[in-house]
Chain A
Amino acid sequence: MTMIVEASAVKPANLKADHLAQDQSTTTTVGEISSPNPRMVCRDINVWYNNNHAIKHVSLDIGKNEVIAMIGPSGCGKSTFLRCLNRMNDTIPAARVEGSITLDGQEIQDKGIDVVPLRARVGMVFQKPNPFPKSIYENIAYGPRIHGLTNSRAELDELVETSLQRAGLWKEVKDRLDAPGTGLSGGQQQRLCIARTLSVSPEVILMDEPCSALDPIATAIIEDLIDELRQQYTIAIVTHSMQQAARVSQRTAYFHLGDLVEVGTTDDIFNQPKHKLTEDYITGRFG
C-alpha cells in the first residue's frame, strides 16, 4: 500500500488525445460493479449536457457503510455522476439523465419522485466550501428548520452541537456560534458544510473533491472525519488525489471520458489494476 502511494506520488501527467482515441470503445466495465449489501444501485446511467454525452452507460453499486472513491482525469464525468445520485443535475437546465438509480430498492430517477426527501437522505458536500451568509449556528440549523426535524429550541441546540461534534468542529467554534460562517477558515468552512449535511441525518453523503481547496492539515482532519463517518453513513467521494482515495476508501471506481472503466476494492485498483487505462492513470503514465 505504501508503495502505491509512492508510485502515484509522481505528478499526474496530462492526457494525450490520440492515446484516448484508441481506447474510446471501452463500454464494459472491468471489475465487480455490484456490492453484496448495496445502498444505491445504478444501472446504465447516461447523462447528456445538450449534445455532450458526459456519462456513458455507467452501472455501479454503492454499498452500505462503505466509502467509495471516484477517480479519473479532469472532465471525465465524476461530478456529473455524483450529482445524479441526489438529482442535483435537475438544477442544470441543459442536463438530461437516463437510466435507473435506486436508493434502498426505491427508484429515484422517476419523474414523480420527490427530490426534497431524496436530498434529505442523500446529502452532498461540494468542492468549494459554500457556507450560507449566516451565523455558524444558523448554517447548521437551516436543514433541521426547513424539514421541521426538531420541536424545540433545546432540541435544535443539541442537534447543532452533535452535528458540529461529528464534523469535528465543535471545539473550535463552540464559543462563537453567532459568528458568520463565512468568517471561518477554508478547512473549517468545509467541515461546517459537512456538519450542515450531517444535521439532516442523511443515509448517503456525496462528496465532490471536498479537500481540493484545503491545505494538508485540514485535509487530514477531513479524511479522519470521513473514516469516522463511515460507521454510520454511506459515502461516495470524488477525489483527484490518489493518496486520498487510497487512504479513505474501500472501493474505487475509475472514470474515463464518461465511461466507468474499472471498479474494484481500493487495494486491487491501486495494486493490480486490470485495465490499461487504469494502470496508466494510477502509475501516472500518460503517454
Chain B
Amino acid sequence: MSPSLLLFIILAAMALAYHLGRKRAIGVAGGLKKINRLHSLPAYYGFYAALWVGLPTLLLLLFWAGLQDHILTALTLAELPAETMANLSEGQLSLLVSDIRNLASGNLMGREPSAEVEVAAAHYLRLQGIANITLWTLVGAMALAGMAWAWQRTTPSFRARNRVESIVMILLILFSSIAILTTLGILLSVLFESIRFFQKVPWTEFLFGTQWSPQIALRAEQVGASGAFGAIPLFTGTLLVSFIAMLLAVPVGLLSAVYLAEYAPRAVRTWAKPVLEILAGIPTVVYGFFAALTVAPFMRGLGESVGLDIASESALAAGLVMGIMIIPFVSSLSEDVINAVPQSLRDGSYALGATQSETIRRVIFPAALPGIVGGVLLAVSRAIGETMIVVMAAGLAANLTANPFESVTTVTVQIVTLLTGDQEFDSAKTLAAFALGLTLFVVTLILNVIALHIVRKYREQYD
C-alpha cells in the first residue's frame, strides 16, 4: 500500500469527480439542451469537483508522507526501555533508528539484530499498519466530503468558472514563488548549518586560516588550536584553477566570437557555431574524465620531457579542461554582446577609413566592454562553482601555492569529499561542507548579480 498507489487512486478519483460534477451540472440545468442556463460550461463544474476531491487529499498525502516516519520513529523510541535510551549518544541513536527501520522494511542486515531491535521493529511495523489504515480512511473521507460539497454547490447560478480560475491562479502564483522558495531554502539550509559550524570553529579561523585538514580534527576542542579548518588554501586553489580556465577561455572565446560575428563566411558560421556549442552541452563529468585520463597524463609527460615536475593532479590540467568547457559560454555571450553594438558605430568608424580589425579593436570592443565584462564575470562564477572537473582532476591536498604544476584542492572538491565519505552527524567536518557551500553561494551570487546587472544595463543602453 505504497503512497504512489494512493496517488494513482486519488488521480482516478479526480477523474471520476470531474465526470460526476459535469453530469450533475448538466442535470441541474435540465439536460444538454438547456445548458446555457448554467453560468459556466459544464466542464468547469467538473473541474470544480475534481479540485475539491484532489487538492485536500493530495495535500494530506504530502504531509503524511513527510511526517509519518518522524512520528512513528518517535513513538517507537518512546516504547524502548528508558535505560537503553539514556546510554545512547546521538550517533548510536541514529544507528539504532536505521536498524529498526531496516528490519521493519525487511532489508537484510549484516549482523543479527538484537532482541530489543526486533521488538522495536515489530512495534514500528504495527504502528505503520495503523497509520496506513488511518491514511486511507482519511483520504477516502476527504474525497467523499469534497465531492459532496461540490455536488451540493452545483446550481445553475454557481460561478464555477470563476472559482476554478481563481484556484488555478493561486496555483500559478505558488509555482512562480518556487524560485524564491528555492533561494530561501538554499540560503537557510546552508546558513543554519554554517552557524552551527561557526559555533565550533571561529569564522576568523575559517576565513583566514591557512591550514586545511578536516580529517584529523576529530575532537571538537582540538579544532581551534590546530587550525585545521583554515579555508585559505581552498580559496587560492579555487582561484588558481579558475584563473587558468579563464586564461584559456576568455581569449579563445572572445576571439572566436569576434571571428564568428564579424569575419566568418556564412558557411563557416553555420557549421562552426553549433559544433562549438557542443562543448557547452557536454556533461561536466565527461570533462572530468577527459581531464583526469587524457589531459593530466599528457601534461605530465610533456613536463617530464622538458624537465618540469608536473603533478598528476595538477591545477593546470583541471584549469585547462575547465577552460575548454567555458569557451562556448564566453563565446556565445560575447557574440550576443558584439552583435548588440549598433551598426551606426561601425559605420562611423568605417567612414573614417578604419580597417575591420581597427574598428573591432578600437570601437566595438570598447563599446561592448561592459557586456563582455558581465559575460566574463558569469563565466568566472561558473568556473568557481564547477565541481566534477576538479573533483576528478584536481587533488585533495590543500596546498597553498600559486604554482599551476602542483596539485591544489578547491572549495567544491572539499564539499564533495566532506559529504560523500562516512558522515558523522553534526561533526565539524560535515558542517564545514555547509560553511564552504555558504561561501560558494554568496560569492557566486554576488558575481551573478553584478554580472547580470551589467549585462542588463548594457542591453538597455543599445536597445
A residues neighboring B (CB under 8 Å): 86, 88, 91, 115-121, 123-124, 126, 128, 130-134, 142-143, 145-147, 193, 196-197, 200
Contact = CB atoms under 8 A, between A and B. Distances in A.
Given A117-B353, A119-B353, A146-B353, A196 B367 contact: no
B132 interface: no
Interface in B39-77: none
B366 A91 contact: no
A197 B347 CA distance: 12
A132 B351 contact: no
20 contacts: A88-B350, A91-B346, A91-B347, A91-B350, A115-B350, A116-B355, A118-B353, A119-B351, A124-B347, A130-B348, A132-B348, A132-B367, A142-B354, A145-B362, A146-B354, A146-B355, A146-B358, A146-B362, A147-B353, A197-B352
B353 A120 contact: yes
Given A132-B363, A132-B367, A123 B352 contact: yes
A124 B353 CA distance: 10
B427 interface: no
B350 to A, nearest CB: 6
Q: Is the interface of B mostly helix, strand, loop or mixed?
A: helix
Nearest to B343: A91
B157 to A, nearest CB: 57
Interface residues of B, number: 19
**Leading 8 A-B pairs by shortest Cβ distance:** A120-B353, A124-B351, A119-B353, A130-B344, A143-B352, A130-B348, A133-B367, A146-B358
Contact of B353 (A128, A131, A134, A143): A143
Contacts of B366: 132-134
Contacts of B342: 130
Contacts of A197: 351-352
Interface string B337-380: 00000111111111111110010001100110000000000000
B454 to A, nearest CB: 15
Q: Name which of A115, A123, A130, A143 has the most chain B CB atoms within 10 A of its CB.
A: A130
Given A133-B366, A142-B362, A146-B358, A119 B352 contact: yes
Contacts of A116: 353-355
Contacts of B351: 86, 88, 119, 123-124, 126, 197
A91 B262 CA distance: 11
B352 A120 contact: yes
A142 B364 CA distance: 13
A118 B348 CA distance: 14
A254 B345 CA distance: 29
Contacts of A120: 352-353
A121 B351 CA distance: 10
Contacts of A133: 345, 366-367
Interface string B160-191: 00000000000000000000000000000000
Given A91-B343, A126-B348, A197-B352, 20 more contacts: A115-B350, A116-B355, A117-B353, A119-B352, A119-B353, A120-B353, A121-B353, A126-B347, A130-B344, A130-B345, A131-B348, A132-B348, A134-B366, A143-B353, A146-B352, A146-B362, A147-B353, A196-B348, A196-B352, A200-B353
Nearest to A93: B266
A90 to B, nearest CB: 8
A126 B351 CA distance: 9
Contacts of A145: 362
A118 B350 CA distance: 11
Nearest to B369: A133
